[in-house]
Structure 1
Amino acid sequence: MTRTILITGTSSGYGKAMADLFLDRGWNVIATMRRPDPTLFTDHAGRLKLLPLDITDPHSIDAAIAGGVDAFGAIDAWVNNAGIGLGSIVEATPNSVVREIFETNTFGTFAACRAIIPQMRRQGHGTIINVTSSATIGVMPLVAIYAASKCAVEGFTESLSHELEGFNIKARLVEPGYAPTTNFTANGMARMQGLIPADYAGFAQACFAKMGDYPTGFCTEAEVAEATFAAAIDDGVRIRYPAGADTKLLAQLRWSSSEEHYQMRMREMFSPAIAP
């Protein structure tokens, strides 16, 4: 029987790569985005359904679920991929921007999970995959608000996995690394405008210089798509699926060394040796 997956944020980047991979491997795919663009995909013999979905709008989430079930009968896996990035200095970041980040990255993910869980319980199975970031493992400078929004999803998902286990529903995490070539990164940089005060200019410039000497290769869309596919088909109890060399490096540092060694290496890799 052909399985069905719904993926949010499929207009570009990781979401587009995920949709293409699952289609290529024989799944039905419900590809969602705020403004569906039918030119992005080929139909794959009726196995693709393109639907609008705004993760910050509960009615939009419910409509996407109804449309997906109407098209394919069930939603076997759901990927919360839609998200927005931010680089900023905390004291200069207004509440409106903080709320914008959390509304999409955190509260939107929570709402989507609450909406799809009853459908999966009725089916008797399902897998929910929440996409977070390497920033939940090793937090570099200038991403405090973004990291907070994604760390919340990590704790939420791990707890949720216990709640849902008795219903044959799995909750999992895909943790992509840094991918400067995606629209996600470019959009996050755009939001940074005006959020780095003059007092922090030297610190920020030194941080950017550090990032120019990144310690590993950059994460790719293909790696994230493969990690998502692994999370969707795994029958075990694993929760986290890191994607990218940097995520794996940070995970090893975080979980296999002392706090002192971890902090020393993080400062060597990402933190400038100057005061703001």
Structure 2
Amino acid sequence: MKTVLITGCSSGYGLETARHFHDQGWQVIATMRTPRDDLFVASDRLRMLSLDVTDPDSIRAAVEAAGPVDVLVNNAGIGVVGAFEATPMAHVRKVFETNTLGTMAMVQAAIPAMRARGSGVIVNITSSVTLAAMPLAAAYTASKQAIEGFTGSLAHELAHFGLRAKLVEPGYAPTTRFAQNTELDVADLIPEAYADFAAPIFAAYAAPALTTSERDVAEAVWQAAHDETDRLHFPAGPDAVALAQAG
């Protein structure tokens, strides 16, 4: 029985991905800052662990408690929507601490055991904003673009040891809590000077032509985890696929 460890499983992509792998018969280690008993049906193939990807001690404890894993899925992340001019640098750093440095720290913690066994897959979840820049999301886009470059380089390093690194790039998912897992109010990040620019953008977000579901992302992660080729990019959702094909 194979084991997957997934970060950020309290909602959205992480939760659906954990359920999907469990449904396929895998041993699932679902991690989140504060584990909740109401998220999953009790199963001897599912464990919940507390994990804050910005805390080195928390990472160390979770990786040790998890034991050997076949696949690491780095999903934990936070978003921010607003004019970059109005985004506090303290929050920009927070976005990078979670989305970028948190992912890197998890990878660094997982590699030694995978390398010793000569097998393992790392799946990093980024975003379709890496395929086509989205306005009013500069800090978030930058944090995800950094992981794109990181994973591309990492894939070469890990291939030498029989390990694989993959990228899953979800499209726009209205049902996720993007930008709601922050203490910032979007309204405070749209100065009056940006109001005319922002209005049609938010209107488009409210009625998108194509969207991505949590199931789309879970299936893309499953595909990436099982892909034995040198393919790196896995767009998830019809909008992300369209952007990838247009690019």
Structure 1 residue ranges (4+ consecutive) displaced by more than 6 angstroms after TM superposition: none
State how far apart, in whole Å, the 2-side matches of 1:219 and 1:185 are. Answer: 16
Partner in structure 2 of residue 37 of structure 1: 36
State the identity %. 52
Q: 1:227 aligns with which of 199, 220, 233?
A: 220
Q: How does 1:1-276 map to 2 (within 5 A)?
A: 2-44=1-43, 46-69=44-67, 74-187=68-181, 191-216=185-210, 218-254=211-247
State how far apart, in whole Å, the 2-side matches of 1:140 and 1:50 are. Answer: 34
Give the superposition deviation at 1:9: 0.5
SS of equivalent residue, structure 1 residue 66: helix
Partner in structure 2 of residue 272 of structure 1: none
**2:124 counterpart letter in structure 1:** N
Q: CA RMSD in A?
A: 1.4
For the 8 Å contact 1:128–1:170, the answer to whether it is kept is: yes
For the 8 Å contact 2:6–2:75, the answer to whether it is kept is: yes
Partner in structure 2 of residue 274 of structure 1: none
State how far apart, in whole Å, the 1-side matches of 2:89 and 2:180 are. Answer: 22
State how far apart, in whole Å, the 2-side matches of 1:204 and 1:38 are. Answer: 39
Superposed CA deviations along residues 188-241 of structure 1, whole A, max 9, x for unmatched, are 69542311111111111121123344232x100111000001111111111111
Q: TM-score, normalised by structure 1?
A: 0.86
* Gapped regions of structure 2 (runs ≥ 5): none
Instruction: Identify the structure with the greater helix proportion.
Output: 1
SS of equivalent residue, structure 1 residue 54: coil
**1:89 counterpart letter in structure 2:** A
Partner in structure 2 of residue 267 of structure 1: none
State how far apart, in whole Å, the 1-side matches of 2:181 and 2:121 are. Answer: 29
**2:35 counterpart letter in structure 1:** P
Q: TM-score, normalised by structure 2?
A: 0.96
For the 8 Å contact 1:87–1:188, the answer to whether it is kept is: no
Bigger Rg over Cα: 1
State how far apart, in whole Å, the 1-side matches of 2:183 and 2:53 are. Answer: 21
State how far apart, in whole Å, the 2-side matches of 1:212 and 1:63 are. Answer: 41
State how far apart, in whole Å, the 2-side matches of 1:116 and 1:88 are. Answer: 34
**2:230 counterpart letter in structure 1:** V
* Gapped regions of structure 1 (runs ≥ 5): 255-276
Give the number of aligned pairs.
247
For the 8 Å contact 1:86–1:191, the answer to whether it is kept is: no
State how far apart, in whole Å, the 1-side matches of 2:203 and 2:177 are. Answer: 21
**1:144 counterpart letter in structure 2:** A
For the 8 Å contact 1:79–1:131, the answer to whether it is kept is: yes
For the 8 Å contact 1:180–1:186, the answer to whether it is kept is: no
Give the superposition deviation at 1:184: 2.8
SS of equivalent residue, structure 2 residue 187: coil
